[in-house]
Amino acid sequence: MEIKTPEQEIQRFRARVVVAGLFVLCGFGLILARYAYLQVVRYDYYSTRAEDNRISLLPVAPNRGLIVDRNGVVLARNYSAYTLEITPSKVQNLEDTIDQLADIIEIQPRDRRRFRKLLDESKNFESLPIRSRLSDEEVARFVARRYRFPGVDIKARLFRQYPLGEVAAHAVGYIGRINQREMVEINDDEELAANYRGTEHIGKTGLEQSYEKELHGTSGFEQVEVDASGRAIRALARTAPVPGNDLQLTLDIGLQRVAEQAFGERRGSLVAIEPSTGGVLAFVSTPRFDPNLFVDGISTENWDALNNSPDHPMINRAMNGAYPPGSTFKPFMALAALETGKRAATTAFHDPGFFVFGNNTFRDDKVGGHGMVDMVKSIVVSCDTYYYTLANEMGIDLISDFMGKLGFGSRTGIDISGESIGVLPSQAWKKRRFKTPAQQKWYAGETISIGIGQGYNAYTPLQLAHATATLANGGVMFKPHIVKYVVDARTGQRRVIEPTPVADLGFKPENLEVIRKGLIGVNLYGTGARAFAGAKYTSGGKTGTAQVFSLRGAKYIEHQVHARLRDHALYIAYAPAEKPTIALAVLVENGGFGATAAAPIARQVMDYYLAGIKPAGAVQDDAAAETEGTGD
């Protein structure tokens, strides 16, 4: 490097300063370009991002609709209470936190178990209740120590409550926390997902499930400004939620209670229908359960108790239990004979007390037979032989065609989902049901016992009541329904669930008259006479006793048979016989004779409904039930 004079040095330095200056300008130019790009070109994008940061839409869950009976008695309602909730994702050590909470607020082992269960089912960022229904004092105690519990909070929530507890539990159903499967379903539908963002519970069974759409309402939204930690700073705007619609039922809770109490400890079902509309007046399945247990996640011991009980209280026998109808099938068989012209009402023959078909002897329950029997008498005395021969003459195809039209073997369409279809035996059914050709073949001998409601026959009490109601209504069939009105919670406007005539089966009045005579005869001087002695109204009925266990010809002696293998007692009836306003079917599992086990239940129900007679010793204390609480 050559030596330079000071002037040259300064000259060179000046050049370097100019370069440095240009460098600075270039650098700042680059910066300016970048800021101009962000702030002018991309302004809209970043402005939206900033708004997205700042504004959060919080869902406001709507109040769930109420459920009341036809007279306005509340069956499902909401109440507000404080719950202690933990957001697991914000808590370091769950066990420690719960232990510390237990020092200031009572937390039972079952609360912990229920929390564990909820934790298993939930996503981590949800806040889950550890204790519900805190007292004011507990709230105050926690609030004073809140700083020690990050991720734990007290929330005011609306709870579902079923003030009558077990009454009509199978019809009303219950709600529970939305599980993951339901969450997936909800998220599949964008609109639904938006509407359920703030919702934690959903109808699981009964009307709570089938009318979920009406009861839920429309979620509202609150626009809030939030800071980086997600804390709401202030509310910007609010769209109020639209509360769910209320349901007013066709059920008469008074009647329901009478029916439920009439069963006592026995297992069974009763369905009562208003024939002219299809409105369900009573919908009983016993034993019952307390739907309040399910609302906030049922505890393991309660669940085990319900689930492991040999009485299966969770099964909705009214629509999911399928039973052979026994002799209650006979009036329908008789009508089938008349309508198909296979046998006239006046045709009478001598009943020897048995019917021989091939190598098999089919016995009547009366040894020696009923003597001369015509159609009316066959119903009144429940003559088996009459129907063995009738079934044999008609053949399975005619029988299954006719019974199918009456709704046997298909869903009635009641407004609770999950109804069973039962078994309407037919050649086609047997083909579907069995695998080998030998099994699939229908044997003529199998038709014989179909005639007395045995064999493959299996129907739900609902189907039986439905067919009885159709019979009572002269062949005009209505779809059974439990909800009468959907009531707009804000305007009080009622939307009527119109009775839907499904079909007019076109039965000839003279044929119906024969059946009616027979049914009236049953309750006047036949198998139902003792149960209906002294009734203030005329009724038609038919008893039934269905074999649970085939004795292969041996004599059935009730006290020698195991309680669970005893016959089911059945009874169908309508009244007043002239113009029926109620039709029902009763089933008492392993109850023995229909006349002694099932018919008296029907008598109590009809007495209450038609004559306003309350059975002796019955509890009719709505007020007491209201304060029982949730049974939690």
Partner 1 sequence: MINLSDLRGFALRFLRPLDPFLLAVALAIVAVATLMLESASPERLEAHLFNLAIALAVMWFMAVQPPQRLHSFALPLYVVGLVLLICVAMFGDISKGARRWLNLGFMRIQPSELMKIAMPLMLAWYFQKREGMLKVRDFLVAAVLLALPATLILKQPDLGTTLLVLSSGLFVIFFAGLSWKLIVPVGIIGVAGIVAIVSFESQICAPGVEWPGLHEYQKHRVCTLLDPASDPLGKGFHTIQSTIAVGSGGMLGKGWREGTQTHLDFLPERHTDFILAVISEEFGLAGVIIILILYCLLIGRGLMIALNAATLFGRLLAGAISMIFFTYAFVNMGMVAGMLPVVGVPLPMVSYGGTALVTLCLGIGILMSVQQHRRRK
Residue 239 CB, shortest distance to partner 1, in Å, is 22
Nearest to partner 1 of 3, 616 (CB atom):
3
The tokens for 148 are 């020690």
Stretch that binds partner 1, among 29-37, 387-395, 402-410, 564-572 (CB under 8 A): 29-37
Stretch that binds partner 1, among 24-32, 288-296, 448-456, 612-620 (CB under 8 A): 24-32
**The only residue of 28, 349, 443, 549 in contact with partner 1, by rule CB under 8 A:** 28
Residue 29 CB, shortest distance to partner 1, in Å, is 9
Q: Which residues pair with 8 in a beta bridge?
A: none
Q: Where is 214: in which H helix or E strand?
A: helix 212-216
Query: DSSP secondary-structure letter at 548?
Result: S
Nearest to partner 1 of 5, 560 (CB atom):
5
Q: What span, in angstroms and rounded, lies between the C-alpha atoms of 11 and 33?
A: 33
Query: DSSP secondary-structure letter at 270?
Result: E
CA neighbor of 212 nearest in space, from 175, 242, 248: 175
Q: Which residues pair with 82 in a beta bridge?
A: 156
Nearest to partner 1 of 41, 557 (CB atom):
41
Nearest to partner 1 of 45, 434 (CB atom):
45
In the block, which residue shows the tokens 């209670």? 257
Q: Where is 30: in which H helix or E strand?
A: helix 6-36
**The only residue of 140, 233, 240, 372 in contact with partner 1, by rule CB under 8 A:** 233
Residue 52 CB, shortest distance to partner 1, in Å, is 9
**The only residue of 225, 365, 622, 626 in contact with partner 1, by rule CB under 8 A:** 225
Angle at 489 between CA 488 and CA 493, to 5 degrees: 35
368 binds partner 1 per the rule CB under 8 A = no
**The only residue of 1, 184, 367, 616 in contact with partner 1, by rule CB under 8 A:** 1
235 binds partner 1 per the rule CB under 8 A = no
Which residue is catalytic, options 210, 269, 285, 327? 327
Q: Measured in whole angstroms, how far is the alpha carbon of residue 339 from the centre of its chain?
A: 36
Stretch that binds partner 1, among 221-229, 257-265, 356-364, 435-443 (CB under 8 A): 221-229
238 binds partner 1 per the rule CB under 8 A = no
Interacting residues with partner 1 between 38 and 67 (CB under 8 A): 38-40, 42-43, 45-47, 49-51, 53-54
237 binds partner 1 per the rule CB under 8 A = no
The tokens for 616 are 């002796």
How many positions of this chain bind partner 1 (CB under 8 A)?
A: 41
**The only residue of 36, 344, 372, 551 in contact with partner 1, by rule CB under 8 A:** 36
Nearest to partner 1 of 57, 502 (CB atom):
57
**The only residue of 7, 17, 294, 472 in contact with partner 1, by rule CB under 8 A:** 17
Whether residue 86 contacts residue 114, with contact meaning beta carbons closer than 8 Å, is answered with no
Nearest to partner 1 of 229, 359 (CB atom):
229
20 binds partner 1 per the rule CB under 8 A = yes
89 binds partner 1 per the rule CB under 8 A = no
At residue 59, what are phi and psi to the nearest 5 degrees?
A: -70, 145
Stretch that binds partner 1, among 20-28, 375-383, 410-418, 602-610 (CB under 8 A): 20-28
Nearest to partner 1 of 23, 443 (CB atom):
23
Residue 223 CB, shortest distance to partner 1, in Å, is 14
Q: Report the sign of the C-alpha dihedral through residues 521, 527, 529, 531, in that order.
A: negative
Residue 28 CB, shortest distance to partner 1, in Å, is 5
With 0-12 / 13-18 / 19 or more C-beta atoms within 10 angstroms meaning exposed / middle / buried, residue 570 is: buried
34 binds partner 1 per the rule CB under 8 A = yes
Whether residue 568 contacts residue 543, with contact meaning beta carbons closer than 8 Å, is answered with no
With 0-12 / 13-18 / 19 or more C-beta atoms within 10 angstroms meaning exposed / middle / buried, residue 14 is: exposed
14 binds partner 1 per the rule CB under 8 A = yes
**The only residue of 12, 213, 490, 508 in contact with partner 1, by rule CB under 8 A:** 12
Write down the H helix ranges in 342-496. Answer: 375-380, 384-405, 427-433, 437-440, 444-450, 461-472
Q: Which residues contact 237 (CB under 8 A, 6 or more apart)?
A: 222, 223
Nearest to partner 1 of 2, 190 (CB atom):
2
Widest CA span of the chain, in angstroms?
A: 150
Summary count for the chain: helices (H), strands (E) = 23, 23
The tokens for 450 are 């179909």
Q: Which residues contact 130 (CB under 8 A, 6 or more apart)?
A: 84, 85, 86, 98, 101, 107, 111, 112, 115
**The only residue of 80, 92, 229, 560 in contact with partner 1, by rule CB under 8 A:** 229
Residue 11 CB, shortest distance to partner 1, in Å, is 11
Name the residue type at position 281. L
35 binds partner 1 per the rule CB under 8 A = yes
Nearest to partner 1 of 90, 112 (CB atom):
90
Q: At what angle do helices 330-340 and 509-525 cross, to 10 degrees?
A: 150
- 299 is an active site residue: no
CA neighbor of 165 nearest in space, from 83, 253, 245: 253
Annotated catalytic sites, by residue?
A: 327
Judged by the rule CB under 8 A, the positions of this chain that interact with partner 1 are 1, 3-4, 9, 12-14, 16-17, 20-21, 23-25, 27-28, 30-32, 34-36, 38-40, 42-43, 45-47, 49-51, 53-54, 225-229, 233
